[in-house]
A and B are shown apart, each in its own frame.
Chain A
């Protein structure tokens, strides 16, 4: 989406399968995207859409004995999927860092917060304990922990949820990473604290000129923070494009469904339009377009042929849907009218 020298990540055809006793779970299928410096890529989808698994695969955090991973994950030109575990260890946590959903589960309850961040420093750098501690304090201060010098000596239970998430972000920033992957970073937090954390992530992105992947189920969070958006369903990308286009002119019936089923804080809607049915099992995903059993606009080719992720017109962004472009524009427009009414 921007010039190649700013490009950090180029994922091509990432596919993740988990063989289980019940069959093969097709968690992620043929996912391709890019990430550049200064970009926030929002990955949205409902539970089980493969948004977290694809990021775990990128981080090399899936057990390769249990998960069958194929495709390419090119990080600054090098394929992370074929890298040795040792080589990967130098990148993970250093050049690509991750912030998880639950800050309560991510910090060790028996160690001081400062100690845990200092440990992250010494994991990739040979510095003395004092230097590492000083860096931890500096980072805590940087992410907005008041009285960082004394709070670094606190244990995680003495921190509030928001402060713990700040500490996690501090830990992720230890080695000035190029990519920060945030997996539902604010889902466990209250909305006023969420606003603080989202602001912090945005600041960090600008200051360090990094790329951010923000995984969330909350379309509002994505709309406010992301530059580009990837809508996932049943392990596949349904729609991928600039954030303003996805929210102003969504093209895929699934994206329409998601947006229409959301209650609005702006006004009370006469009725919400839910997506009928429930998400498919990934053990046996539907044939053709995975969304076709729930899609109100399905027609003949949908159950038969899988639509490729391509831009249907020059002024459109890629989507995976068989509907002709004219029809999509028409349906999208009528949807917009109904929404404005």
Chain B
């Protein structure tokens, strides 16, 4: 596995990119990444003697695209499958089913060897800057790792340039990670990801371990780099304020599924899915004055046995029996560049909890208890 690019366990690979890449972008130039019906199940052993085998439905039928040069934010609570989706995108995990297209090319079935030349095009920044840097290597070795692996010459000068790019002192080339603070370490992680001029960088909670003043430094840095190097980000975070600051488009995930996706403005100003609304209303704000809050009851159900149909239905304030627990809602367009997987999307925002409960479909359920492919015009 080429999971750790700085691990040095990689065989050297010729530097030239795969020839297929140059003529593969026809038709879908706009999208750098396309995921289609991506599904990932993990087998888990159950019971003391591991007789029964169960499946964790980590990612279930996820379809989304990442456009060139944009930042796609993925938000959701722990266990919603956001990290798994990201790792599948980079083929750090193998999908159970579905297609991953990177730069117009289907990479879901490529072998690790075939993937290797592509690795320089897609990089990752990890959450924990204390765990993602090898403590026995100098900063120069860490950032220079990708060059060594891919056989690029002149690494030392490039590394010093990179250190400068991310706002570190180039003379700190020979220092070890423990000599740096959390924010500086995260900059090292950023420099390593930038080393091979990738097209895509997946940032998995890159600022969650940092204090707020340092977090702002790293977020600003990521934005500047995106502009300067025309990067495409997939940015994962549980922090909705951070996502709002950095993302152009947002996918909201719940229990392995994308429940809502759309332009950042649209999602934050006009959330359609009750879960998105609950998430937004649950975020504590650093302004005084009370707001109405939708408090979800209970916890996220187990992904081993997800609820039937709409996975959100046991916690949903708009739950309609006989519909939400029977028929799985598909992602449908609701306005431009905004899609939601809900039978009873919100009509407007903000809404009080009482209003949310009285979904416009309430009478509808009463009228037609069996709702078949009910039309919901929004």
Binding partners A and B: yes
Interface size on A, residues (CB 8 A): 49
| Contact residue among A199, A219, A243, A264 (Cβ-Cβ distance under 8 Å from B295) | A199
| Residues of chain A from 84 to 110 with CB closer than 8 A to chain B in the complex | none
Asked if A279 and B299 sit within 8 Å, CB to CB, the answer is no
B266 to chain A, nearest CB (A): 12
Asked if A193 and B214 sit within 8 Å, CB to CB, the answer is no
Asked if A258 and B241 sit within 8 Å, CB to CB, the answer is no
Q: Would A190 and B78 be within 8 Å (CB), given that A263-B244, A264-B245, A266-B285 are in contact?
A: yes
Interface size on B, residues (CB 8 A): 42
Interface string of A219-254 (1 = CB under 8 A from B): 111111100000000000000000110011000000
Q: Would A261 and B278 be within 8 Å (CB), given that A195-B295, A219-B286 are in contact?
A: no
| Residues of chain A from 253 to 298 with CB closer than 8 A to chain B in the complex | 257-269, 271-276, 278-279
B288 CB within 8 Å of chain A: yes
Q: Would A218 and B284 be within 8 Å (CB), given that A190-B78, A258-B213, A275-B213 are in contact?
A: yes
Q: Within the assembled complex, what's the spacing in Å between the Cα atoms of A262 and B77?
A: 20
Asked if B293 and A195 sit within 8 Å, CB to CB, the answer is yes
A292 to chain B, nearest CB (A): 15
Asked if B299 and A263 sit within 8 Å, CB to CB, the answer is no
Q: Within the assembled complex, what's the spacing in Å between the Cα atoms of A290 and B245?
A: 30
Instruction: List, in ascending order, chain B residues with CB within 8 A of A196's CB.
Output: 295-296
Asked if B288 and A223 sit within 8 Å, CB to CB, the answer is yes
Asked if B287 and A247 sit within 8 Å, CB to CB, the answer is yes
Instruction: List, in ascending order, chain A residues with CB within 8 A of B285's CB.
Output: 220, 223-224, 265-266
Asked if A274 and B220 sit within 8 Å, CB to CB, the answer is yes
Q: Within the assembled complex, what's the spacing in Å between the Cα atoms of A295 and B214?
A: 15
| Residues of chain B from 240 to 275 with CB closer than 8 A to chain A in the complex | 240-242, 244-246, 264-265, 268
Asked if A262 and B286 sit within 8 Å, CB to CB, the answer is yes
Asked if A257 and B213 sit within 8 Å, CB to CB, the answer is yes
A70 CB within 8 Å of chain B: no
A50 CB within 8 Å of chain B: no
| Residues of chain B from 70 to 91 with CB closer than 8 A to chain A in the complex | 77-78
Q: Within the assembled complex, what's the spacing in Å between the Cα atoms of A244 and B300?
A: 34
A62 CB within 8 Å of chain B: no
Interface string of A171-196 (1 = CB under 8 A from B): 00000000000000000001111111
Instruction: List, in ascending order, chain A residues with CB within 8 A of B244's CB.
Output: 263-265, 267-268
Asked if A46 and B211 sit within 8 Å, CB to CB, the answer is yes
Asked if B213 and A274 sit within 8 Å, CB to CB, the answer is yes
Asked if B211 and A47 sit within 8 Å, CB to CB, the answer is yes
A229 to chain B, nearest CB (A): 10
Asked if A274 and B238 sit within 8 Å, CB to CB, the answer is no
A308 to chain B, nearest CB (A): 24
Total cross-chain contacts (CB, 8 A): 126
Q: Is the interface of B mostly helix, strand, loop or mixed?
A: helix
Instruction: List, in ascending order, chain B residues with CB within 8 A of A274's CB.
Output: 213-217, 220
User: In the complex, which of the residues A46, A193, A247 has the most CB atoms of chain B within 10 Å of its own CB atom?
Assistant: A193
Instruction: List, in ascending order, chain B residues with CB within 8 A of A161's CB.
Output: 299
| Contact residue among B77, B219, B288 (Cβ-Cβ distance under 8 Å from A191) | B77
Interface string of B208-246 (1 = CB under 8 A from A): 000111111101100100000000000000111110111
Asked if B299 and A163 sit within 8 Å, CB to CB, the answer is yes
Instruction: List, in ascending order, chain A residues with CB within 8 A of B299's CB.
Output: 160-163, 193
B271 to chain A, nearest CB (A): 12
Q: Within the assembled complex, what's the spacing in Å between the Cα atoms of A278 and B167?
A: 13
Q: Within the assembled complex, what's the spacing in Å between the Cα atoms of A47 and B181?
A: 12
Asked if B284 and A224 sit within 8 Å, CB to CB, the answer is yes
Instruction: List, in ascending order, chain A residues with CB within 8 A of B317's CB.
Output: none
Q: Would A263 and B245 be within 8 Å (CB), given that A274-B213, A274-B214 are in contact?
A: yes
B282 CB within 8 Å of chain A: yes
Asked if B278 and A271 sit within 8 Å, CB to CB, the answer is no
Q: Would A194 and B282 be within 8 Å (CB), given that A263-B245, A264-B241, A274-B220 are in contact?
A: yes
Nearest chain B residue, comparing its CB with the CB of A261: B216
B283 CB within 8 Å of chain A: yes
Q: Within the assembled complex, what's the spacing in Å between the Cα atoms of A110 and B32?
A: 49
B124 CB within 8 Å of chain A: no
Asked if B216 and A191 sit within 8 Å, CB to CB, the answer is no
User: Please, could you name 16 A-B residue pairs with CB atoms under 8 Å apart, sorted by A?
Assistant: A46-B212, A160-B299, A192-B279, A193-B77, A218-B284, A219-B212, A225-B284, A258-B212, A262-B216, A263-B239, A265-B240, A265-B241, A265-B244, A265-B283, A267-B244, A272-B216
Top 10 closest A-B pairs, CB basis? A220-B284, A274-B216, A261-B216, A263-B245, A275-B213, A190-B77, A272-B216, A46-B211, A195-B282, A274-B217
